[in-house]
Chains A and B, each alone.
Chain A
């Protein structure tokens, strides 16, 4: 699965994806502007939620900002499979596979590009939130684990999306499946509501949701500061999920060539 050119190949696949992102000014602008809208709307919409007894933060926005980071990251990751559907339609996918590059690198490169994109997005969200008065307990160095968690989380879901993209051959089908999965993933996590305030069955689901493994440590960074155990635990689980979904995507691509 891993040839000795794997890392170089991964970088060049990733380079192309990053060029696409940077070449599209509108897309770039929207990836930065969207979190601002979400923070403004949700922060105001749910302002009074923070008054519920037992709510763990003084302001809902303090609680919600890591939730927004996770949602933006999830969305970016979940649409990662689009590039494979698009490449296949353009013939670029076949062109890459006819070259002696590692198949795993095609998947890894696309995942990496999304990881880099969302790591930067998470920092932009933090900057906007900070401007809106949200506190960040972990201090300036806390941006590293925040970006790192966003990086891993988006790669985990990009791997899932690329697996879908390897099987589904139309944009429409992929968009339908992604839309079907995305919101339930958000609602079965503690992105918007603490576990303690959820019905038991939902809270049970949330403990199995990979999103929770990003939200809990991120929320810790915002509300309480550095919690090494939680951070390492989250990072490890997310990295593992990314490895699994990436391997599945690679296997499905290989299978499509059989």
Chain B
């Protein structure tokens, strides 16, 4: 088994005001993994990451990072990790090179190491030509990549990324994703990230912990988590039931072999969890027609992490996060599809 580079046991944070932000969270991350903490705003993601990087003290429980206890040996933990905050924390009044060098100074790199490391990272960023321009002249995506790269100056074993693509447009987001995957494949670095974008967790992470109200509600690879839903999601909107009572209809639908679960979604709308949905649909249709029920519309999809979140918490991940052009666009597309 590969090495556990992060391990927490019942990690808990209660703020001075009494708010329980993280509640007995236990998980581990193995070396070389991209591990994601997925949850809505206020779920406890940032609090968890801040305890792991020694910016907050846990109230109870333990966390070990690179084999060091975060409460007992914070400086050893700091030397072993790189941290990139959710803000694009590059200094606009300095040049790209100065930003990288200053970061290296904060990690006490000797001058010769600092120079070679800076040159190497500028090369990797394809920024060598603009290295001496002020960061205020860089694009948003460029700044974020510089920000992430600064976290690598001291060759950390783990890179912590707090909401790495927050507020970036979709093209930039994809470039950042490619960049993070590259870092892992070329440098073998472990990546711990938080996100409330389920596409990000799905696309990037080997394993995902879904967190809500300070507790981990599900943990596994995106494929495993989606498999836990138990099938495809078929959403039916009915035109009329011909006097058939709702209870009866649900019983009839549940009795069909491929149907795992039936959830009423409001007025005359039902979501069915169905194994092998494509093949099951005709059978469901003919049963409904036999019962004299008319179907107004139907929609089938594979489960996403969003559905996993809904499954475990009874809440929608997306509805909590309505901001960002990308989400407005994707919401519009979903509306158009219905």
B53 contacts A98, C-beta separation under 8 Å? yes
A98 contacts B55, C-beta separation under 8 Å? yes
**Cα A97 to Cα B79 with chains together (Å):** 12
Interface residues on A, range: 20 to 34
**Cα A5 to Cα B93 with chains together (Å):** 25
Q: Mark A101-129, 1 if CB is under 8 A from B, else 0.
A: 10000000000000000000000000000
- Does any Cβ of A come within 8 Å of B311's Cβ? no
- Does any Cβ of A come within 8 Å of B117's Cβ? no
Q: Mark A9-32, 1 if CB is under 8 A from B, else 0.
A: 100100110011001100000000
List A contacts of B84 (CB < 8 A).
95
A9 contacts B93, C-beta separation under 8 Å? no
List A contacts of B88 (CB < 8 A).
91
A8 contacts B83, C-beta separation under 8 Å? no
B94 contacts A98, C-beta separation under 8 Å? no
- Does any Cβ of A come within 8 Å of B260's Cβ? no
Q: How far is the CB of B52 from chain A (nearest CB, A)?
A: 10
**Cα A186 to Cα B181 with chains together (Å):** 58
Q: Please, which residue of chain A has its CB at the minimum distance from the CB of B106?
A: A99
Q: Which of A16, A89, A100 contacts B108 (CB 8 A)?
A: A100
**Cα A36 to Cα B108 with chains together (Å):** 42
Q: Mark B65-91, 1 if CB is under 8 A from A, else 0.
A: 000000000010011010111111101
**Cα A89 to Cα B88 with chains together (Å):** 10
* Number of residues from B at the complex interface, CB < 8 A: 28
**Cα A166 to Cα B89 with chains together (Å):** 18
A:45-88 near B, CB below 8 Å: none
B107 contacts A90, C-beta separation under 8 Å? no
**Cα A24 to Cα B93 with chains together (Å):** 8
List A contacts of B105 (CB < 8 A).
8, 12
B93 contacts A23, C-beta separation under 8 Å? yes
List B contacts of A5 (CB < 8 A).
108
B57 contacts A16, C-beta separation under 8 Å? no
- Does any Cβ of B come within 8 Å of A258's Cβ? yes
**Cα A205 to Cα B156 with chains together (Å):** 54
B83 contacts A90, C-beta separation under 8 Å? no
Q: How far is the CB of A24 from chain B (nearest CB, A)?
A: 7
A94 contacts B85, C-beta separation under 8 Å? yes
A92 contacts B91, C-beta separation under 8 Å? yes
Q: Please, which residue of chain B has its CB at the minimum distance from the CB of A20?
A: B93
B78 contacts A99, C-beta separation under 8 Å? yes
List B contacts of A23 (CB < 8 A).
93, 134
- Does any Cβ of B come within 8 Å of A96's Cβ? yes
- Does any Cβ of A come within 8 Å of B48's Cβ? no
- Does any Cβ of B come within 8 Å of A176's Cβ? no
- Does any Cβ of B come within 8 Å of A257's Cβ? yes
List A contacts of B54 (CB < 8 A).
98
**Cα A258 to Cα B150 with chains together (Å):** 26
**Cα A96 to Cα B107 with chains together (Å):** 10
B107 contacts A12, C-beta separation under 8 Å? no
Q: How far is the CB of B6 from chain A (nearest CB, A)?
A: 15
A257 contacts B106, C-beta separation under 8 Å? no
B108 contacts A97, C-beta separation under 8 Å? no
List A contacts of B89 (CB < 8 A).
90-92, 94-95
- Does any Cβ of A come within 8 Å of B98's Cβ? yes
- Does any Cβ of A come within 8 Å of B168's Cβ? no
Q: How far is the CB of A104 from chain B (nearest CB, A)?
A: 14
- Does any Cβ of A come within 8 Å of B121's Cβ? no
List B contacts of A15 (CB < 8 A).
102
Q: Please, which residue of chain B has its CB at the minimum distance from the CB of A93?
A: B89
Q: How far is the CB of A258 from chain B (nearest CB, A)?
A: 5
- Does any Cβ of A come within 8 Å of B142's Cβ? no
**Cα A5 to Cα B81 with chains together (Å):** 19
Q: How far is the CB of B240 from chain A (nearest CB, A)?
A: 56
List A contacts of B81 (CB < 8 A).
98
A96 contacts B55, C-beta separation under 8 Å? no
A91 contacts B86, C-beta separation under 8 Å? yes
List B contacts of A98 (CB < 8 A).
53-55, 78, 81, 83, 85
A9 contacts B106, C-beta separation under 8 Å? yes
A257 contacts B56, C-beta separation under 8 Å? yes
**Cα A92 to Cα B105 with chains together (Å):** 14
List B contacts of A20 (CB < 8 A).
93
Most chain A CB within a 10 A radius of its CB, from B78, B89, B94, B103 = B89
**Cα A23 to Cα B93 with chains together (Å):** 7
Q: Mark B103-130, 1 if CB is under 8 A from A, else 0.
A: 1011110000000000000000000000
Q: Please, which residue of chain B has its CB at the minimum distance from the CB of A11?
A: B105
Q: Please, which residue of chain B has its CB at the minimum distance from the CB of A9?
A: B106
Q: How far is the CB of A199 from chain B (nearest CB, A)?
A: 44
**Cα A5 to Cα B57 with chains together (Å):** 23
Q: Which 5 residue pairs spanning A and B have beta carbons closest together?
A: A91-B87, A91-B89, A91-B85, A99-B106, A98-B83
A–B Cβ pairs within 8 angstroms, 22 of them? A8-B105, A15-B102, A19-B98, A23-B93, A23-B134, A90-B87, A91-B85, A91-B88, A91-B89, A92-B91, A94-B89, A95-B150, A98-B53, A98-B54, A98-B55, A98-B78, A98-B85, A99-B103, A100-B79, A100-B107, A257-B56, A257-B57
Chain B contacts to A: CB under 8 angstroms: 53-57, 75, 78-79, 81, 83-89, 91, 93-94, 98, 102-103, 105-108, 134, 150
Given contacts A8-B105, A94-B55, A95-B83, 19 further A-B contacts (CB under 8 A): A5-B108, A8-B108, A9-B106, A15-B102, A16-B94, A16-B102, A89-B87, A90-B87, A90-B91, A91-B88, A94-B85, A94-B89, A96-B106, A97-B55, A98-B55, A98-B85, A99-B78, A100-B107, A258-B56
